[in-house]
Amino acid sequence: MPETDSASSTNSGKDLDLVPFRMPSLGADMDSGTIIEWLVGPGVEVHRGDVVALVQTDKSDLDVEVFHDGTIAEILVPAGVKVPVGTVLAMLAAPGAAVESGPTAETAPVVETGPPPLPPETPEPRVLTLPSPEPLAHIASPVLRHLAETLHVDTGHLHGSGTGGRITRDDIEHAGQRRRVTPRARRLAREQGVDLTTFPTGGAITGDSVLDRQPSGPPTAASQPAPSAAPRGPDPEAMRRAIARLMTTSWQTIPHYQVATRIDLHLMLDALEQRNAGHTATERILPAAALVRAAARAAASVTGVNGFWIDDAFVPGDGVHIGVVVALRRGGLLAPVVRDADRKDLVTIMAEMRDLVTRARTGRLKASEVGGATFTITELGEGGVDSVAPIIHPPQVAILGFGAVHDEAWAEDGMIAVRAVVHATLAGDHRAIDGRIGSAYLTTLTKYLQEPLES
């Protein structure tokens, strides 16, 4: 621990132009996150977009970027601690304000112990000291952090018995013993997205106690083996239970309404055929990609369908992230997410869908790839049915269902023609959106599907 006085370090910090770096919201349902690892330390220069930390949410581990240029002045939340979204994690000094790196501050605490500092007119770098690690950085050693992770111990809730409240190896091992997790419980927690650190201590966590919990995410976010796990895929029974819970919640709590329309796809299909003519099988763009893109663009332009109903209020999505329902061959569903689908071109969307669907069917999706959808599309075209009246994926407020594309009699300009037609049905959460919006959505969707392809 550096021999500094924390009061003086705070004072010296006030002189600088400091910018707070906060725990970002990495998903509509994220209200807190745990810093797994800091990739930078005090004194390190960072630029907007640099990945500075690894953060664990209920669903996955995510890289977190910094939004400003500058130099890390102080790390306020150490690794291993869970904090609410918005908590200041670190302070950044604006560019130009030099910050001395940690080790130097430790060995040469110039400001505090030397003669009174000179006014900062000389080019000599200004010095920020390291924060005192004791109030917050109570688990400093990577070895202990690793031990805590291995034993599923949430160090944020531990009371350290070491000097200054430091968490010791004994503390972690003791807590780890109290929170023993059975193999079955660990498997179920992984499959159903249940956070084991939220269980009360005392006794082993068993499979039944995990099953008693509602999953912390939708089944799509659950049911995933860890990316490093063998490709055995999710347990079909656990997935079935998760789907059952989610759909029951949806059906019992969401007043669904449905609006439907027929859409003439002949222009789109002709355009795709022309476009695909010069491409190999793997480069072809399938109609499904065009439907997803048009649906995403419509969701972006019609206010109210893209987002969530949370705590009696509509919360718009942080982008148009389309969950695409994939039926697994051995039963069950997953909805991998095409993020920002309204802003991607057809080639990109097609490539992502190919990749996501393939990996969904082989059980190799990452948790982050099935979370965060703001709108969902289900397509039952393969089964040959004309239309589908889908059930909303809570807490989203709408879902769009496509039936198969069939040739149908189509009246236009007083004539009857045979056209390739798809039946689109939008189910809306009537608490959040009225039929007029659903209708506007389908009208917009139809409009986009008549436009020339962009790629």
Partner 1 sequence: MTITCREAMRQAIREALLADERVFMMGEDIGAYGGCFAVSKGLLEEFGPERIRDTPLSESAFVGAGIGAAMAGMRPIVEIMTVNFSLLALDQIVNNAATLRHMSSGQIGVPLVIRMTTGGGRQLAAQHSHSLEGWYGHIPGIKVLVPATVDDFRHMLQPALDDPDPVLIFEHALLYNAEGELGEDPIAPIHRAVVRRPGRDLTVLTYGGSLAKVIAAADTMAAEGIEAEVIDLRSLRPLDDDTYITSVRRTHRALVVDEGWRSVGISAELSARITEAAFFDLDAPVGRVCSAEVPIPFPKHLEDAALPSVEGIISAARQVLSDDA
225 vs 332, beta carbon nearer partner 1? 225
User: DSSP per residue over 40-92, as a string?
Assistant: --TT-EE-TT-EEEEEE-SS-EEEEE-SS-EEEEEE-S-TT-EEETT-EEEEE
Helix H or strand E encompassing 446: helix 435-450
Nearer to partner 1, 237 or 345 (CB): 237
| Minimum separation from the CB atom of position 209 to partner 1 (A) | 9
Task: Using the minimum distance from each CB to partner 1, give the nearer residue, 43 or 225.
Answer: 225
| Minimum gap (Å) between residue 183 Cβ and partner 1 | 5
Q: CB within 8 A of 153, min separation 6: which ones?
A: 147, 172, 175, 176, 179, 197
For 89-107, b where at least 16 C-beta lie within 10 A, e where not — what string? bbbbbeeebbbbebeebee
Query: Least distance to partner 1 from the beta carbon of 207, Å?
Result: 5
Q: Could you give phi then psi for residue 124, rounded to 5 degrees?
A: -60, 135
Closest approach of partner 1 to the CB of residue 148, in Å: 21
Residue 92 near residue 72 (C-beta atoms within 8 A): yes
Closest C-alpha among 207, 209, 216 to residue 237: 207
User: Contact residues for partner 1 (CB under 8 A)?
Assistant: 182-187, 202-204, 206-208
State the nearest-atom distance from the C-beta of 212 to partner 1, in Å: 13
The smaller minimum CB distance to partner 1, of residues 187 and 364, is found at: 187
Taking the complex as a whole, the smallest distance from the CB of residue 232 to partner 1 amounts, in Å, to 10
Q: CB nearer to partner 1: give 22 or 187.
A: 187
How far is Cα 224 from Cα 205, in angstroms, rounded to an integer? 20
Pairing of strands 326-327, 307-310: unpaired
206: part of which helix (H) or strand (E)? none
Q: How far is the CB of 443 from partner 1 (least distance, A)?
A: 50
CA distances (Å), origin 93, targets 42, 103, 112, 129, 318 = 10, 18, 20, 12, 28
- Distance CA(304)–CA(309), nearest Å, equals 10
Min dist CB 204 to partner 1, Å, is 5
- Give the nearer residue to partner 1 in terms of CB position, either 213 or 284: 213
116 or 202, CB closer to partner 1? 202
Q: Where are the strands (E) in 57-214, listed by range? A: 61-65, 70-75, 82-84, 88-93
C-alpha 327/C-alpha 293 separation (Å) is: 20
The β-bridge partners of 439 are none
Of 208 and 283, which CB lies nearer to partner 1 in the complex structure? 208
Least distance from partner 1 to the Cβ atom of residue 419, Å:
52
Q: Check: CB of residue 221 under 8 Å from CB of residue 367.
A: yes
Length of the chain equals 455
**Residue 126 or 184 having the CB closest to partner 1:** 184
Report in angstroms how near the CB of residue 179 gets to partner 1 at its nearest. 11
Q: Are 377 and 399 in contact (CB under 8 A)?
A: yes
Task: Output helix, strand, coil percentages for the chain, rounded to the nearest 5.
Answer: 35, 20, 45
Comparison of 182 and 197: residue with beta carbon closer to partner 1 = 182
